[in-house]
Amino acid sequence: MSSFKCVPGDQLALAASALAIAIAKEIEDDDDLATLSNLFSAVGSNLALIAGQRENCPPSKCDD
């Protein structure tokens, strides 16, 4: 998945918006949509945490 490094930020934002609109059109119940939103937020936060830890402590540094 290293190809994401070269995608311009505006294209990623556009893709995220398009995906959100497509999902929202399929999920009519607002409570379900809010739950899915919270799930995606939690996944994003956890991915950011993992990425940060990888940068701060790569496996080669932590194997000591």
Q: Is 3 a residue whose pLDDT tops 90?
A: no
Q: Is 1 a residue whose pLDDT tops 60?
A: no
13-63 pLDDT tens trace? 999 999 999 999 999 999 999 999 999 999 999 999 999 998 888 777 666
Tokens for 52, please give them.
């940060």
Q: What is the pLDDT of residue 21?
A: 98
Nearest to 9 by CA among 41, 55, 17: 17
The CA radius of gyration of the chain, in Å to the nearest whole number, is: 16
Measured between alpha carbons, how far is 13 from 17 in angstroms, rounded to an integer? 6
Q: Is 6 a residue whose pLDDT tops 90?
A: no
